[in-house]
A = this chain, B = another copy of it.
């Protein structure tokens, strides 16, 4: 049997895993809202973001309480402390999903994504969701191999992002300035969402091994 302190740590991990599920679902719905000009879905994502913020505050509160009551050392201290940046990454992922939903809401009833970009945007959305899912697995399992998978997924995201911007710059791009701005920002939000998932996973590696690892993402577009 695990002692109370370790039960509390487990509970903290479960909270973080729950947050990954929420930000994954937020991203899935935000992307659908963006692709299908679905106002109700967009508003749902925007309105439910506060739930993620609340969970983040709970995680911080729990960390502080555990820190104060238990005075953990070494590995336990690292595990506890890493929950702070992890919850911060998750909160930002929720924000970014809400930003994507907000683009859909602002343009409604018009559709944001032109036909020729639908495939690319759908792919970015899928990678984003996948990254959130894997981030949850990494928290639950502390599996370093899965963590490396996130780096590969993130590289794919960066490539898609570069391709997306290249499409906007091609001579046959003749859409309204509004669309250029929306796609530029949406692309940036997907890419940042992916970055946060990767950082989160690296915090897990840090807590498991005590080694900081850095994943070098591609240069900005």
Q: Residues of A at under 8 Å CB distance from B?
A: 57, 64, 67-68, 71, 73-74, 77-78, 81, 84-85, 88, 99, 102-103, 165, 168-169, 173, 177-178, 180-181, 184-185, 188, 212, 219-221
Contact = CB atoms under 8 A, between A and B. Distances in A.
B57 A67 contact: no
Nearest to A63: B81
Contact of A81 (B64, B102, B173, B180): B64
22 contacts: A64-B77, A64-B78, A64-B81, A68-B74, A68-B77, A71-B71, A81-B81, A84-B84, A84-B85, A85-B85, A88-B88, A103-B220, A168-B177, A169-B177, A169-B181, A180-B180, A180-B181, A181-B184, A181-B221, A184-B184, A185-B188, A185-B221
A74 B221 CA distance: 44
Contacts of A78: 64
Contacts of A71: 71
Contacts of A84: 81, 84-85
B185 A178 contact: no
Contacts of A73: 68
A57 B212 contact: yes
A99 B220 contact: yes
A178 B169 contact: yes
Contacts of A165: 181
Among A77, A103, A177, max chain B CB count under 10 A is at A177
Given A74-B68, A88-B88, A188-B185, A219 B102 contact: yes
Among A68, A73, A84, A220, max chain B CB count under 10 A is at A220
Contacts of A221: 181, 185
Contact of A185 (B77, B81, B184): B184
Nearest to A71: B71
